Amino acid sequence: MRKILSRILNKFKRRKENIRIVDIEKATYLLKSKKESDSARWARNNELFSNWNERTAILASFIQPEASIIEFGAGVMHLKTLLKDSKLYTPSDIVKRYDETVVCDLNEPISLKLQSYNVAVFSGVLEYVYDVDNVIHQLSDNHVEQIILSYCCSDIVKLSREKNGWLSDLTKEELEAIFTNYNYKIKDYKEWNKQSIFNLMKI
């Protein structure tokens, strides 16, 4: 009886997940046609997954004490729990999930005072940005010394961009060319679930 109930439950979960993926894919095509961000998706807490905390921990390991940090796509602010001696931490996201969250849509010009920070963190965020080059350009112009980010490079992660809601599709080489163009050197590189993790320093 338990096996039967387990099969039924698993079948229901798979069907629910398939519906979710189809909905994301449809929404992504529509968003791309309008060049908009998916704020409705990220307003839902069930779109934030606990296994992402492993990725955040890797990014956090590159942050030095006394850093002034701006985190983009902060979600549940797991990064904050991993910081020991940061001078300043500001969580930003496309929706205001908590009182301290600063709303920032990276598909619009960044209006935050970036010169207040020496470290910018992007954990699973830049896939949802149309113009990644423009984001790095703004950080460079405001003298952000260190950028720590993850990205699903299209030549490494062979998943459907639309089914995941991804709005950019850069290869690893294309992404690294952007870093070089704005004088960011790759100090460290790691992979998590085939996702590329970069620790960049301004030179």
Q: Which two tokens stand for residue 105?
A: 């849509």
pLDDT in tens, 98-121: 999 999 999 999 999 999 999 999
The model scores a pTM over 0.85: yes
Q: Tell the residue number behind the tokens 């870093």, with chain if given.
A: 179
pLDDT in tens, 55-85: 999 999 999 999 999 999 999 999 999 998 8
Residues 56 and 159: their CA atoms lie apart, in Å, by 21
Contacts with 32 (C-beta within 8 Å, 6 or more apart), sequence order = 167
Q: Where along the chain do its domains lie?
A: 2-202
**Which CATH class, in words, describes the domain spanning 2-202?**
alpha beta
